[in-house]
Structure 1
Amino acid sequence: MTHLAIIGGGGFRIPLIVHALTTSHRTLRLSRLTLIDVDDDRLAAMRAIVTDQLRSSPHLDLELTTTNDLAAGLIGADVIFVAVRPGGVEGRVIDELTALEHDFLGQETVGVAGMAYALRTIPVARKFAATIADVAPDAWTINFTNPAGVITQAMREHLGPRVVGICDTPIALLRRARAALDLAPATSGSFDYLGLNHLGWLRSLVVDGTDRLPELLSDEARLGTLEEAQLMGTQWISRVGALPNEYLFYYYRHREALAAISASETRGQFLAAQQHHFYELCTHEEHPYELWNRTRAARDASYMAEGRAPEDRYARETAEIEQGGYQEVALDAMTAFLHDEPATMILNVGNTDTPDGAPVIPGLPNDAVIEVGCHVDTGGAHPWPIAPARGDMLALMLAIKECDALLLSATKHGDYELAARAFGTHPLVDSVDAADALLTAYCERIPAIREALSYPHPLP
């Protein structure tokens, strides 16, 4: 039987994982679920919600435990999910608003706000990975924590290929492309997806020996049904010659994204208000799972609202909301790792996690974490060979991975100057002076960043 431990067990999305567990067709054989969190109040709230949720699944004989002791909670774990937010959603609000005050994009995983999130999260992720390596060295670790690419890379310092990062956006892109071509979800075939977390492209979709992607790219009506086209425009996607991950909206339409975010509350502000209200009500609810479901619906409808017209900002497609998310991806990986049910997935893995150690994406560093298609089995995640990266795609990936490398070194050595280089050279930064002023502001406002970088100046 299987023991699943979740670091960040008081997080809002835990019931999504439990729902996937209770409705899964997979051979999970799960016997124990341990929720681990340092926030005792949120942990108690989530225990109440999950307990209420499990009442409707009496067939699932699951032992639920909660703890704030990391090492104790990991003992005996076969699989570990890591889904944390150091500093809470309040930290995200500071990340985003501080960036906007300095005329930079305020988005959780992209640009300077994403780097701020990474700076306060990388040291925590390293501590988690070290503890896992000590207490549960044979466990598989699946990282949900954003920014997923650089956080997974930090955890690999201790765990190597036994940690992978997951995101649902690539597989959702693939699902939407198939639907636009009127292909059944389970249609056999192959695909070529290349990129980093929140920065990638679907470059081919082969069915019965024919690449159907050019057909989709040339059909404006069908292409226009995709969320990615609604964000970035059918003309631009046709010019790119590939379907971009939805997060490339922030690169390809940076001005429009910045203007939209600046004109309304940030995603972090929305979630902070919503979650404060939710957790406050939760302890008084007779059926907290119903409250959670209502709150989740509003949360999902507002996802990437800045990419839609004002009148549609909180009207995301119902069908898109109801599709399986990252929890489904995680369970596919978990089942493949543990129960010899191989899967084809898009995961965050090492660039040289190949039989001969050759890089999957030549031109990127060997230790880079990339997001590509993989075969997954009890031996791990095995990225398959893909076509070479086109120059514009490689240049953008290389710039981001250089920033990641600088952030990793900066947090390892407590070096403000390395972090300042990362901020100054990011593709979405247009002024090194403004970037330096922003990083100084982050150090002054966020103790975790100040500590991570051994900030050398006295506070005002």
Structure 2
Amino acid sequence: MRLTILGGGGFRVPLVHGALLADRAPGRVTRVVLHDVDAGRLRAVTRVLAEQAAGVPGAPEVSATTDLDEALTGADFVFSAIRVGGLEGRANDERVALAEGVLGQETVGAGGIAYGLRTVPVAVDIARRVARLAPDAWVINFTNPAGLVTEAMSHHLGDRVIGICDSPVGLGRRIARVLGARPGEAWIDYVGLNHLGWVRGLRVAGRDELPRLLADPALLGSFEEGRLFGADWLRSLGAVPNEYLHYYYFNREAVHAYQRAERTRGAFLHDQQARFYAGTEDPAVSALDLWERTRAEREATYMAENREAAGAGEREADDLSGGYEKVALALMRAIARDERTTLILNVRNRGTLAALDGDAVIEVPCLVDANGAHPVSVDPLPDHATGLVCAVKAVEREVLAAARSGSRATAVKAFALHPLVDSVTVARRLVDGYTAVHPGLAYLG
């Protein structure tokens, strides 16, 4: 089986490769094709992968190319993890937004809109090429903003594109752990959009254990989201939100924390990864050791500003291991081998949430088999959550419309309608600021 990884020079590619190395079952991936627009990054990651595979019998054959059509032709699965504009673009997203006093995070608020506006045209081009060059391939999308990009690609690939994210997986794992349950034995009632969802129940042997968690202040204070949101607020919600909802519920504190930070997250990662890629050019240096040290620092500092604002402390050691690569592997195995499983994924709504149309991409538990991912029926969201989901989905639709039409006015509308942008005037300045720093937004007329 052939897997093509778009963004193959990306820093987290070795996580996917590590998961593939551990898969010994028949029908596993035997060839990996890395594609990236940056040949230097491809060389660096290829070195890491070669060290990972040393001594592993039956390791997948790895090749690299900067030719997109070559990479896609003959693929069984396409894993998309591109970053249009690179980390410099992410840092600019943050800087422009914070200068206007609004959030610049890469998937939430103004930063997420800017990232989406320059990513959607590229993702749509990829989807069209996949449909032409590898029509039987399944596309697994990890490119952010994951829900928005998955929806854009679904217009050309239908249900053969599925979005993944490690946030719901990590949240469910943490809740199960503090309740003394095995994550694999728990049913997680999770629903929303990507980076905008809530765990409303966690069932073990038919019994919902979430009320026991919400009633126990000590348990609530023993995991990251409990400390991040606070026990009182979680009890008020009657649910545990995805960590990214901290940007909505505590927006003022989050913006202030980002403004006080010495560097934004994007600027930190830009500098950190520049050191990593430069370091791999020395043949005397172990690229794998350098990658592992860099990753440990990266994970430990994840959402540091939010944890500081909430007084949530450091991340737990068990939360530093990622997880999206395991979701990707489980998804591929379920489809390729008809190994039926349940995963929280980004898929078309198909009537699952009555408040949204059938083509809207949502994030919910899905049953996965050889025919793809099928969303599980879920109870309606409460009004406050429905309102937020509908508002953010409306913004996503404006982003898609702006990317399709090239309309600057529609881009302004997308920013202005977002719950975390408080003024049409600010929205106009954001569009001006982003088009000034991003060549990829030159299409907005």
Please, what TM-score do these two structures have when normalized by structure 1?
A: 0.94
User: Which of 164, 167, 171 pairs up with 1:166?
Assistant: 164
Displacement of 1:25: 5.9
Distance 1:392 1:16 in 2: 37
Q: 1:30 aligns to what? A: 29
Task: Give the alignment of 1:239-258 within 5 angstroms.
Answer: 239-258=236-255
| Matched residue SS, 1:204 | strand
Distance 2:106 2:305 in 1: 13
Q: 1:190 aligns to what? A: 187
Q: 2:200 aligns to what? A: 203
- Tell me: CA distance 1:161–1:249, structure 2 relative to 1, closer, same or farther (3 Å): same
Q: 1:330 aligns to what? A: 328
Q: 1:458 aligns to what? A: none
Distance 1:419 1:50 in 2: 40
Task: Give the alignment of 1:111-130 within 5 angstroms.
Answer: 111-130=109-128
Distance 2:72 2:422 in 1: 44
Q: 2:427 aligns to what? A: 435
Distance 1:226 1:293 in 2: 25
CA deviations over 1:403-460 (Å, ceiling 9, x no partner)? 0000101110111111111111100111111121111111122111122x23xxxxxx
Gaps of 5+ in 1: 353-358, 455-460
- Tell me: CA distance 1:185–1:379, structure 2 relative to 1, closer, same or farther (3 Å): same
Q: 2:315 aligns to what? A: 316
Whether contact under 8 Å (1:7, 1:84) holds in the other structure is yes
Aligned residue pairs, count:
443
- Tell me: CA distance 1:28–1:308, structure 2 relative to 1, closer, same or farther (3 Å): farther
Give the aligned residue type for 1:212: E
Whether contact under 8 Å (1:81, 1:141) holds in the other structure is yes
CA deviations over 1:259-317 (Å, ceiling 9, x no partner)? 11111111101101101111111110432111111111111111010122389899422
| Matched residue SS, 2:420 | coil
Task: Give the alignment of 1:200-349 within 5 angstroms.
Answer: 200-264=197-261, 265-286=263-284, 287-309=286-308, 315-322=314-321, 324-349=322-347
Distance 1:210 1:396 in 2: 29
CA deviations over 1:120-153 (Å, ceiling 9, x no partner)? 1000000000000000010110000000010000
Distance 2:17 2:311 in 1: 31
Q: Which deviates further from its counterpart, 431-440 or 87-96?
A: 431-440
Q: 1:19 aligns to what? A: 18
Whether contact under 8 Å (1:152, 1:163) holds in the other structure is yes
Q: 1:78 aligns to what? A: 76
| Matched residue SS, 1:366 | coil
- Tell me: CA distance 1:314–1:125, structure 2 relative to 1, closer, same or farther (3 Å): farther
Q: 1:374 aligns to what? A: 366
CA deviations over 1:215-274 (Å, ceiling 9, x no partner)? 111111101112112111111011000110010000011011111111111110110110
**RMSD value, Cα:** 1.5
Distance 2:179 2:27 in 1: 32
Whether contact under 8 Å (1:106, 1:266) holds in the other structure is no
- Tell me: CA distance 1:230–1:99, structure 2 relative to 1, closer, same or farther (3 Å): same
Task: Give the alignment of 1:87-126 within 5 angstroms.
Answer: 87-126=85-124
| 4+ runs deviating over 3 angstroms | 24-28, 310-315
Whether contact under 8 Å (1:302, 1:313) holds in the other structure is no
Displacement of 1:318: 1.4
Q: 2:8 aligns to what? A: 9
| Matched residue SS, 1:308 | helix
Displacement of 1:62: 1.9
User: Which of 147, 154, 157 pairs up with 2:155?
Assistant: 157
| Matched residue SS, 1:141 | strand
Q: Percent identity?
A: 47
